[in-house]
Structure 1
Amino acid sequence: MQPPTSRAKPPARLLTAIAFTGSLLISCASTSETQAPTPGATTSSAANPSASPQAQGMNHAHPGSSHNTALDLGPSEANYDLRFIDAMIPHHQGAIAMAKAAQQKAQRPELKQLAAAIIQAQTQEVTQLQKWRQQWYPEFDSTPMAYDAEKRKMLPMSAQQQAAMMMHQDLSASGSEFDQRFLSAMMPHHAGAIAMAQDALQKSQHLEIKQLARNILTTQKAEIQKMQQWQAAWSQP
């Protein structure tokens, strides 16, 4: 579904976030589970899973590059789950921050209810991911790790990667358009988590991560469908 033509264009930070998600999808292997909605570029939404970022010429950046918005989780090996954890924690934290803003600023009670569900579920998942990191990787300090696809090795995650992974944006003050801005931000955010969850189902070394990935797929796909319905309904004059 194309967004209403009268709606303002997404802010630059959101476009960068969507580009990040597209780059992540390019780096992931083909998935064996149900495919996630694929966020497009500036005019596509999660409602159109055929709007592939690959077809729109998005670049796959690497750590240290000046336009680093991609985070390739790398191959399936002993430290894959460490990188998945270090990617998913800030990604969840970005969703939690936007959901907290929605609790304060959203006009519609159903959107506030969704925000509360996002905060509850993803806060619990962040806590669990942090525990697993401590249990499974005691030899690593708290520095988040990422995979450098160009150098084919794991390196500390750059500040740019961490910011891109959060996909957090300031949705501005409350008002009649806040609810639509929240939907336009949260749907591609969920699609990014779904892409990582699909990747983890193929590559994770831990059954716990695979179960978490399945939970993310189930929950966030359902939430995207709900948000798509609201976006369509609330766009009507």
Structure 2
Amino acid sequence: MDQHFIVMMIPHHDGAIAMADLALTRAKRPEIRALAGSIKASQTEENAQMRAWYRAWFGGNVPTWGGAMGHGGGMAGMGMGGTGTDIAWLKNAPDFDRAFIEQMIPHHRMGVMMASMAQTGSQHPELLALQQAMVKVQSAEIAQMAGWYRRWYGTP
């Protein structure tokens, strides 16, 4: 379970990092840029940690994943963890801030689901702690983005 989780979560994080990179240059609202900076920093650090654990626990580097998650080993543009995120579309969205929230909330929901499900079979306490932290942080970020969306756009 831990090996599978790492192989799946790293490209999922790569998708959020790619979205965050866009937000750092395209977002108009400082709140979005600040959140993007936080997402990029935390998920880049988590990916580095998971790669190190993978090498220590399973030997070798994390293989690239091109299966059901829709990632061609990294950023293929489409299919961020099954959320349908399209980086090219997001890059050209007329209202980037709104589009970012509309894409990042379902992306984070998928991440929360993945980390929640993996906890039941996790064999390594340090990975279990990371999974729990992912659920907590990303759930809080979802709530924050949902609040912004309601406040800025008047709809849930």
Q: TM-score, normalised by structure 1?
A: 0.57
Aligned length: 144
Superposition deviation, residue 160 in structure 1: 5.4
The answer to whether residue 146 in structure 2 is matched with residue 228 in structure 1 is: yes
The answer to whether residue 61 in structure 2 is matched with residue 161 in structure 1 is: no
Give the letter aligned to residue 150 of structure 2.
A
Greater length-normalized contact order (CA 8 Å, ≥ 6 residues apart) = 1
Separation in structure 2 between the aligned mates of residue 228 and residue 185 of structure 1, nearest angstrom = 12
The answer to whether residue 110 in structure 2 is matched with residue 192 in structure 1 is: yes
Superposition deviation, residue 208 in structure 1: 1.0
Select which of 80, 84, 90 maps to 2:11.
Answer: 90
8 Å Cα contact 1:197-1:213 kept in structure 2: yes
Separation in structure 2 between the aligned mates of residue 210 and residue 86 of structure 1, nearest angstrom = 15
Unaligned stretches of 5+ in structure 2?
72-78
Separation in structure 1 between the aligned mates of residue 117 and residue 27 of structure 2, nearest angstrom = 33
The Cα offsets for residues 2-51 of structure 1, whole Å up to 9 and x where unpaired, read as xxxxxxxxxxxxxxxxxxxxxxxxxxxxxxxxxxxxxxxxxxxxxxxxxx
Q: TM-score, normalised by structure 2?
A: 0.84
- Alignment of structure 1 residues 124-203 onto 2, 5 Å: 124-138=45-59, 142-144=62-64, 157-159=65-67, 161-163=69-71, 164-166=79-81, 168-170=85-87, 171-173=90-92, 175=94, 177-203=95-121
Structure 1 residues 174 and 91: alpha-carbon distance in aligned structure 2, compared to 1, 3 A threshold: same
Separation in structure 2 between the aligned mates of residue 142 and residue 201 of structure 1, nearest angstrom = 20
Superposition deviation, residue 92 in structure 1: 0.3
Superposition deviation, residue 159 in structure 1: 4.9
Q: What residue in structure 2 maps to residue 31 of structure 1?
A: none
Query: Relative to total residues, which structure has the larger helix share, 1 or 2?
Result: 2
- Alignment of structure 1 residues 49-68 onto 2, 5 Å: none
Separation in structure 2 between the aligned mates of residue 184 and residue 174 of structure 1, nearest angstrom = 11
Give the letter aligned to residue 169 of structure 1.
D
Report the RMSD for the aligned CA atoms in angstroms: 2.0
Separation in structure 1 between the aligned mates of residue 116 and residue 135 of structure 2, nearest angstrom = 8
Give the letter aligned to residue 143 of structure 2.
Q
Flag the structure with larger Rg.
Answer: 1
